[in-house]
Amino acid sequence: MSETPPGRAVRSSGKEDGRSARARATRARIVAAATELFTTAGYTTTSITAIAARAGVSEQTVYYAFGTKRAVLTAALDQAVAGDDEPVPTLERPWVRDALADPEPLGQIRRQVTGAGEIHLRAAPLLDVVRSAAATDSDLAEVWAVNIRQRLTVLEVLMGALARKTPLRDGLDPAAAADIALVILSPETYNLLVSRRRWGHLRWREWAVDSLARLLTTLPPAPAPEPAPGRGALTARDATAVRRGSPPAGPPAPAGLVVRPMHDDDAEQVLAIYQAGLDGGQASLETAAPGWQDFTAGRPARLRFVAADAATGEVTGWVAASAVSSRRVYAGVVEHSVYVHPRHQGRGVGRALLEALIAACEEAGIWTIQSGVFPENAPSLRLHEALGFRVVGVRERVGRHRGVWRDVVLLERRSTVVGR
């Protein structure tokens, strides 16, 4: 979707000199300022003068860098969709290559939906600006039409790959399948369900995967995930709990389960559960659990809990949090981890542990709990969303895990009690 103003050289892949780096930084400031103004004030009422003032540059600089307000919007949209300003086409982006290379049809669909969802997290508000303004602005009508054509081009390639992995439903060819996917994965549908109907990003993702699999293929339905508490409308009791800072009510803790503070006597079982989670491949970029001294060093005792069988004393899971910074301004921000023994997963242990941690954090004056979760770890993402965590964004290919670059979804829960 890029427009290159007359006279603007395309950035090469070589090392930038100081002048080029400064020009790139200036363009980035202009794009950031324009994105903020377009999504808050609207495209029509946002002027080049306002963009320049917000970016801290002259109007002439904006005109020199982009030429027109439409070109500024197009550049902002390109960057929001791609996640960076590198001139890499969508079909060459890692998430598309990974989806095409996945040998399993359902795996391709999941990767495709995850990639589309990450784009929506960045670009949905700006895409909504373009769609809304397109009705009265012929220039933006063309920008919107180009965006739809580009999405359809990518989807036709993906649907062609899907058809080679599994039969499509009777009467569907890749082009017709792409049309259906265009609707399900569109920013209009995403904004309607997530922003207007308040589904939440993770619920939309599960729905999109299920809808594409059912409507496009003859694959048997995937096993239904464990119901995530907190979906849909809150009950009056849940709404009261949210206002008081507690998680929405969910299923009761498993019978015979005790959640208590973690002790040194738990070391062997806690570290064994930690290692079992790491061995599963979806818990962390780490591959080996630390020693007990290192484990406890950065995790305050008041923010460490275990779940244990009341009869046998067996530890079935643990949760712990650590400070994200030694700076006083971040004293109320922690990062947590929660691990459940493989034999006890899906039984409410993780929820009971997280509820205990949330309550302890409220009591300790913690205002933000954050965590990073692999996109593939759907049960953990559902659990966190059910307990009031929101998706902040996705760090793409942030680290190597067993030779593979992995994305990490950033989650946070802001207290409704502390710091208000």
Judged against a pLDDT cut of 60, whether residue 7 lies above it is answered with no
- Which of 3-7, 272-276, 305-309 has the lowest average pLDDT? 3-7
For the domain with range 236-414, which CATH number is right: 3.40.630.30, 3.30.70.1230, 1.10.3720.10, 2.40.50.320? 3.40.630.30
d(CA 91, CA 82): 11
Helical packing angle, 94-101 and 138-165, nearest 10° = 30
Contact criterion met (CB below 8 Å) for 289 and 295: yes
Judged against a pLDDT cut of 60, whether residue 227 lies above it is answered with no
Residue 323: what pLDDT?
Answer: 92
- DSSP codes, 113-177: HHHHHHHHHHHHHHHHHHHHHHTT-HHHHHHHHHHHHHHHHHHHHHHHHHHHHSPBPTT--HHHH
Strand 404-414 and strand 333-340: the pairing is unpaired
Q: What share of the chain is helix, strand, coil (3-state, %, to 5)?
A: 55, 15, 35
Q: Is the dihedral of CA 197, 201, 203, 206 positive or negative?
A: positive
Q: What is the mean pLDDT of the chain?
A: 83
Predicted confidence band of residue 72 (pLDDT cuts 50, 70, 90)? very high
d(CA 288, CA 118): 29
Residue 251: what pLDDT?
Answer: 47
Residue 254: what pLDDT?
Answer: 62
List, for residues 281-306, the tens digit of each pLDDT value: 888 989 889 999 999 998 999 899 99
d(CA 77, CA 200): 23
Q: Spell out the alpha helix ranges (H) of 191-265.
A: 201-216, 236-243
Strands (E), 325-389: 333-340, 368-373
Question: What is the amino acid identity at position 184?
Answer: I
CA distances from 60 to 49, 56, 68, 80 (A): 10, 12, 11, 24
List, for residues 195-207, the tens digit of each pLDDT value: 777 777 777 888 9
Residue 222: what pLDDT?
Answer: 55
Residue 329: is it exposed, middle or buried by C-beta count within 10 angstroms (0-12/13-18/19+)?
Answer: exposed
The three-state secondary structure class of 62 is helix
d(CA 81, CA 415): 31
CA distances from 244 to 104, 187, 222, 365, 420 (A): 45, 34, 37, 14, 12
d(CA 417, CA 344): 32
Q: Residue 182 CB: number of other CB atoms within 10 A? A: 17
d(CA 387, CA 375): 18
Predicted confidence band of residue 400 (pLDDT cuts 50, 70, 90)? confident
- Which of 17-31, 203-217, 314-328, 333-347 has the lowest average pLDDT? 17-31
Verdict on whether the full-model pTM lies above 0.75: no
Q: Is the dihedral of CA 122, 124, 127, 133 positive or negative?
A: negative
Residue 223: what pLDDT?
Answer: 52
Look up the CATH superfamily of 18-88. Homeodomain-like (1.10.10.60)
Chain-centre distance of CA 414, in angstroms? 16
Residue 185: what pLDDT?
Answer: 95
